[in-house]
Amino acid sequence: IQPHGVLLVLSPKSLSSNDGSDPDWTLVQVSQNTAEYLGKSPESLINQPLSVILSVTARQSLQQCIAGEFEAVNPLKFSLDIAGEPQSFAGVVHQSEDWIVLELEPSQDSGAVNFFDFYGLVKQPVSRIQQTQTLQELCQVAVEEFKQVTGFDRVMVYQFSEDGSGTVFAEKTEPGLTPFLGLHYPATDIPKQSQHLYLLNMLRMIPTVTYEPVPLFPSHLPDKTLLDMSFSGLRSVSPLHIEYLQNMGVQATLTISLVQNNQLWGMVVCHHNSSLKLPYERRAICEFLGQVIALEITTKSSREGAEYRLQLKALQASFVETLSQSPSLIAGLTQTPDQLMALTGSSGAAFCEKGEKVLLGQTPSSEQMIGLISWLGNQFGPDNIYHTAELSRVYPPAADFDHGVSGLVAIAISQPQQLYVVWFRPEVLQTVNWAGNPEKAVKEVDENGGVSLSPRQSFDLWKQTVRQRSLPWKPCELEAASELRSSVVGLVLQRADELSALNSELARSNVELDSFAYIASHDLKEPLRGIHNYSSFLIEDYGDVLGEDGADKLNTLMRLTQRMEDLINSLLHYSRLGRADLVMAPVDLNDIVRGVVDMVKIGKSEAVRLEIVRSLPTTDCARTQVTELFTNLITNGIKYNDKPQKWVEVGYLSPAEALLQGNILPDNLLRASISTEGEQAVSRVGSPIFYVRDNGIGIREKHIETVFRIFKRLHSPTRYGGGTGAGLTIAKKIIERHGGQLWVRSVYGEGSTFYFTLKATTDE
């Protein structure tokens, strides 16, 4: 034991008098310093009744104490007669295995505290502690109050983390002392075993570090076992711990355990540069304050936890709100990067979709992400979330990641789409800061002579153990990530539902429209034919009566009915096109174009050059419809042409060539091309881009879109031999039914180029 008291081990059975009024025990083991405190040598005490030391009243109160629950501290106050002089002692009794252990410490009356003193001493600290708002504030007040009550030079609150390592969380020192605030130390500094002892024994004191430990006499108990001293307050401490304290120049310490749910949350640690023995009563106050603080810590940390959870929930709600209003998932997820990161308390985030990525905050580089994402794809479990605080351990390349990224949480919104949201955290070391200057701390410690262990060395050691590790992810943070996933999936599904509803609605109205057009045009034809016929009868039979003027009008009527029939036929054709099944097969487009060219040339007296400028590929398409498509485009090219030397060229461009040539691709194809990087992007627009180019009259910019409208003609039917105005509408429909796209580029007065693709060009 430490020499500032005596320890007596008593036999378990009380040697009571018959009526129990005079209880007594046999002394079986005593500390070897009994002569110093009790005036009797250890040898003279062994196997003697306790009555040789304690008066009957003292023994009675001991008996009472033992009869009650006496697992914790049980302070007793004794007045012993030492060589004729009354001497006050504070006694603490506890049971160790079967034995009763009584520890006595002389108590100076000056240090004694009566009830009013006690009240005065605890009132202010307790009310200050209770007024604090945050955990940090609480611990700061705690160290200040402890300093006040104990008079130690330095008071700290250590906080343990789950892995057993610790941090100096709050500190109050005498002016001029180097602060240790913010220093971390590894789990090995306070091993599990000692932590266990701190749990059993809430308060430990070493009044003088350089003490000479006092052995017990005899060394063994009567049953030949060694005394279990876990609960002993006087128990000597490990020489290593003493060395550690000496290296820091500490002469006296006091530690009070802060226990939360039967776990050591942390400790109040007091250091003093010279010997300092706190009287038992003051220690009792410290222990009491320790319990008040521990209680407050429990409420504060659970409140802070709850507040954090609430904060995350609120963030999540507002985030999902923005998300639901944004045009696309990527825009919604990335428009408020800070919120996205705060959602999991991270310092970087990435949105990834099929190899594309948007990086926000502190993340690995774009290059580093490529490998990471493909690795990540295999890590997800059925819950579609993956997290680690030690990335490089599971994915070694992470050791070299930018920003010391060491922790990661990822959610898979869609595995097949490789749609992931990933959050990152840096190495713990980058998040650690300390108020003092630890460099300075090590120097001071060194000047004090010790080198083997010091707070600074502990800090270094701790740094080794946390290399490439991030702060752990809290369950509520993981929950937030997982809930974000559910919300996003929900939104995506909802959108898909809306889209498919819209789609079927559109499909339905399309079919309706087609059949309406079909029925209408079919039924219209009959009366029209009648009008036409009766007009011709009228001319034939009553031409004379009507006169020239009348016949003219009837002829106009017949021309108009003819025109109307043409229109109705076009409409019929158009509506049939929407209803007919396309028979797809590989077709050599050169064949088709050559056929069209031959047909078009018949009956054309004027000089027209028609040419395939680049041999066309064989393509999957519906032969009849594509023939009609080329016919329409090529005839238009010749029709709407006032040049003496007319020409029409047919060819195609690869998507990359189209991109290189500048203003050719329409916006949506352009977007699809640019969204990925460089050349690779272009290859996403996979199919060739065909064109029919002429040197005709061109189309004014304002008519570029109207030419595709049904029955829309830019010229009177008499000019350029125009048709019904359905040709381009039909062409567009044919292409759309192939999944492709038709568009035109034109310079008015110089010529036009109609471009088209024959299949879906992007994943859109």
Answer for which of 715, 739, 748, 749 binds ligand ADP (CB under 6 A) is 715
Q: How far is residue 307's CA from residue 294's CA, in Å, rounded to a whole number? A: 19
Sheet (strand 751-757) strand order: 608-612, 646-653, 689-694, 751-757, 741-747
Q: Which residues pair with 105 in a beta bridge?
A: 90
Minimum CB distance to ligand ADP smaller for 35 or for 572? 572
Give the nearest distance from C-beta 549 to ligand ADP in angstroms: 31
Q: Which of positions 180-239 make contact with ligand ADP (CB under 6 A)?
A: none
Query: Are 313 and 307 a contacting pair, CB within 8 Å?
Result: no
For ligand ADP, which is the closer residue by CB, 218 or 698?
698
Q: How far is the CB of 564 from ligand ADP (least distance, A)?
A: 15
Minimum distance of ligand ADP from residue 631's CB (angstroms)? 10
User: Cα separation of 83 and 52, whole Å?
Assistant: 12
Q: How many chain residues are in contact with ligand ADP, going by CB under 6 A?
A: 23
Type and span of the H or E element at 619:
strand 618-622
Instruction: Determine if 734 is a binding residue for ligand ADP (CB under 6 A).
Output: no
Which segment (127-135, 341-349, 555-563, 710-718) binds ligand ADP by CB under 6 A?
Answer: 710-718
Q: Which stretch binds ligand ADP (CB under 6 A): 106-114, 349-357, 652-660, 713-721?
A: 713-721
Question: Among 360, 608, 707, 735, which residue sits at the site for ligand ADP (rule: CB under 6 A)?
Answer: 707
Strand partners, 66: none
Pick 232 or 632: Cβ nearer ligand ADP? 632
Q: What is the DSSP letter of 402?
A: G
Tell me if 584 sits within 8 A of 620, measured CB to CB: yes
Peptide bond into 215 cis (omega under 30): no
- Between CA 684 and CA 392 the distance in angstroms is 34
Helix (H, G, I), strand (E, B) or coil at 585: strand
Q: How far is the CB of 670 from ligand ADP (least distance, A)?
A: 23
* Residue (485 or 732) nearer to ligand ADP, CB: 732
For ligand ADP, the binding residue among 15, 229, 520, 714 (CB under 6 A) is: 714
Return d(Cα 345, Cα 426) in angstroms, integer: 11
Choose which of 713, 735, 742, 758 interacts with ligand ADP (CB under 6 A): 713
Whose Cβ is closer to ligand ADP: residue 63's or residue 724's?
Answer: 724
Looking at residues 570 to 599 of the shown chain, list those that interact with ligand ADP (rule: CB under 6 A).
none
- When binding is defined by CB under 6 A, the residue of 207, 249, 404, 696 that contacts ligand ADP is 696
3-class DSSP state of 33: coil
Q: Hey, what are 93's tokens?
A: 């009794």
Parallel/antiparallel/unpaired status of strands 608-612 and 646-653: parallel
> CA 217, CA 44: separation in Å to the nearest integer?
11
In the range 666-695, which residues lie near ligand ADP by CB under 6 A? 694
Nearer to ligand ADP, 119 or 748 (CB): 748
Q: How far is CA 416 from CA 277, 351, 676, in A?
A: 70, 15, 18
CB of 599 to ligand ADP, least distance (A): 16
Contact by Cβ (8 Å): 595, 632: no
Of 438, 406, 410, the residue nearest 423 (C-alpha) = 410
Count of Cβ atoms closer than 10 Å to residue 552 Cβ: 11
Residues 113, 139, 428, 697: which binds ligand ADP (CB under 6 A)?
A: 697
Report angle CA 117, 122, 127 to the nearest 5 degrees: 140
Q: Quickly list DSSP for 153-196.
A: SEEEEEEE-TTS-EEEEEEEE-TTSPP-TT-EE-GGGS-HHHHH
Q: How far apart are the C-alpha atoms of 310 and 323, rounded to whole Å?
A: 20
From candidates 5, 455, 725, 740, binder to ligand ADP by CB under 6 A: 725
CB of 527 to ligand ADP, least distance (A): 25
Q: Provide long-range contacts, Cβ within 8 A and 24+ apart, for 291-295.
A: 291/202, 292/125, 292/126, 292/129, 293/129, 293/138, 293/139, 293/142, 293/258, 293/268, 294/258, 294/259, 294/260, 294/265
Only segment of 160-168, 591-599, 663-671, 726-734 that touches ligand ADP (CB under 6 A): 726-734
How far apart CA 344 and CA 474 sit, in angstroms, is 9
Of 481 and 726, which CB lies nearer to ligand ADP in the complex structure?
A: 726
Q: Mask: binding to ligand ADP, 745-764, rule CB under 6 A, as x and -?
A: -------x------------
Q: Which residue is nearest to ligand ADP (CB)?
A: 727
Which of residues 28 and 710 has its CB atom nearest to ligand ADP in the complex? 710
Shortest spacing between CB 760 and ligand ADP, in angstroms: 24
Distance of closest approach, residue 610 Cβ to ligand ADP, in angstroms: 13
**Using rule CB under 6 A, residue 45 touches ligand ADP:** no
Helices assigned H by DSSP within 580-662: 589-601, 623-639, 655-660
Selected from 232, 470, 619, 724, the binder of ligand ADP by CB under 6 A is 724
Using the minimum distance from each CB to ligand ADP, give the nearer residue, 345 or 725. 725
Closest to ligand ADP by CB, 473 vs 640, is: 640
Distances from the Cα of 261 to the Cα of 237, 255, 363, angstroms: 26, 19, 38
State in angstroms the smallest separation of the CB of 600 from ligand ADP.
13
Closest CB to ligand ADP among 147 and 693?
A: 693
Q: Which is nearer to ligand ADP, 251 or 636 (CB)?
A: 636
According to CB under 6 A, which one of 135, 183, 728, 758 is a site residue for ligand ADP?
728
Least distance from ligand ADP to the Cβ atom of residue 523, Å: 24
Please, which residue, 37 or 574, has the CB nearer to ligand ADP? 574
Query: Roughly how many angstroms between the first and final C-alpha of the chain, as a whole number?
Result: 80
Nearer to ligand ADP, 14 or 753 (CB): 753
Question: CB 14: neighbour CB atoms within 10 A?
Answer: 19
**Cβ 711 to ligand ADP shortest distance, Å:** 8
Helix (H) or strand (E) holding 298: helix 280-325
Neighbour count for residue 317 (Cβ, 10 Å): 11
Starting from the edge strand earliest in sequence, which strands make up the sheet with 348-353, in order?
356-361, 348-353, 419-426, 405-414, 385-388
Q: Residue 173 is encoded by which pair of tokens?
A: 């020192």
CB burial of residue 133 (10 Å; 0-12, 13-18, 19+): exposed
The stretch among 391-399, 542-550, 678-686, 716-724 that binds ligand ADP (CB under 6 A) is 716-724
Restricting to residues 629-658, name those near ligand ADP by CB under 6 A.
632, 636-637, 640
Q: Which of 106, 218, 305, 722 binds ligand ADP (CB under 6 A)?
A: 722
Of positions 111, 723, 736, 745, contacts ligand ADP by CB under 6 A: 723
CB of 628 to ligand ADP, least distance (A): 12
726 near ligand ADP, rule: CB under 6 A: yes
Closest approach of ligand ADP to the CB of residue 625, in Å:
15
Measured from the CB atom, the residue of 490 and 749 that comes closer to ligand ADP is: 749
Candidate segments 23-31, 89-97, 344-352, 705-713, binder of ligand ADP by CB under 6 A: 705-713
The greatest distance separating any two alpha carbons of the chain, rounded to the nearest whole angstrom, comes to 165
> What is the four-CA torsion angle of 162, 164, 170, 174, rounded to 10 degrees?
180
3-state secondary structure 499-523: HHHHHHHHHHHHHHHHHHHHHHHHH
- Residue with smaller CB distance to ligand ADP, 23 or 727: 727
Residue 712 C-beta: closest distance to ligand ADP, Å: 6
- Chain residues binding ligand ADP by CB under 6 A are 632, 636-637, 640, 694, 696-699, 707, 712-715, 722-729, 752
